[in-house]
Amino acid sequence: MEHKYIMTAFGKDRPGIVAEIAEIIYENKCNLEDSNMGRLADEFSLILLLSGSSDDLSDRLTRDCKRLEREKDIYVFIRPLDYQYPDKKNNNNLSVIEVEGIDQTGIVYKVAKLLADKNINIETLSSKKKFSPNTGTAMYFMEISAKLPDTLSKENLNTEFENLANELNIDIRMR
């Protein structure tokens, strides 16, 4: 029987972190099905969906993750999942929402709250703070892949985005 797990890990950024995590997955005969990995400040973080069929897999993964923490200073958390793949034929309402503006508290909250209020599911969200090379102003960039409900009017949503953009003095685009 196949078992699925979600694994999160992070540690001080350096060469080899991905290889050390992947080695555990490989040694335990697991399949890495999905992942998000990247550097945040001076840390490297990973979120992984993996699967395997061994009966004692959970115990072995937990043991190996504790070893990584002791030996490599990588903090790993693992949790079994009861997961079914989503229906792929119903992905026609995916939209990308781009947000850009001067960095300020509340951008993610207010955009995410607007989406939640409209029953819009966030599939992925990535954001980055960068400094303008000319002025040194902190700029905030966010990209969201979101599944819109069939009943939602894109015109009304764009109006709400425009209102929020004016309130926060940012740009919001949907494509």
Q: How far apart are CA 62 and CA 48, in angstroms?
A: 15
CATH number of the domain within which 164 lies: 3.30.70.260
Which of 81, 98, 128 is the C-terminal boundary of a domain?
Answer: 81
> How many C-beta atoms surround the C-beta of residue 10 within 10 A?
16
Main-chain phi, psi angles of 20, to 5 degrees:
-65, -40
Which of 81, 97, 132 is the C-terminal boundary of a domain?
Answer: 81
Question: Are 116 and 74 contained in the same domain?
Answer: no
How many domains would you assign to the chain?
2
pLDDT, averaged across the chain:
94
- Domain of 95 in residue numbering reads as 88-174
Question: Are 62 and 13 contained in the same domain?
Answer: yes
Q: What is the pLDDT of residues 152-165, one digit of tens each?
A: 999 999 999 999 99
- Residue 52: pLDDT band (50, 70, 90) is very high
Check: pTM over 0.75? Answer yes or no: yes
Q: What is the pLDDT of residues 116-140, one digit of tens each?
A: 999 999 999 999 999 999 999 999 9
What is the pLDDT at residue 88? 62
Question: Are 112 and 73 contained in the same domain?
Answer: no
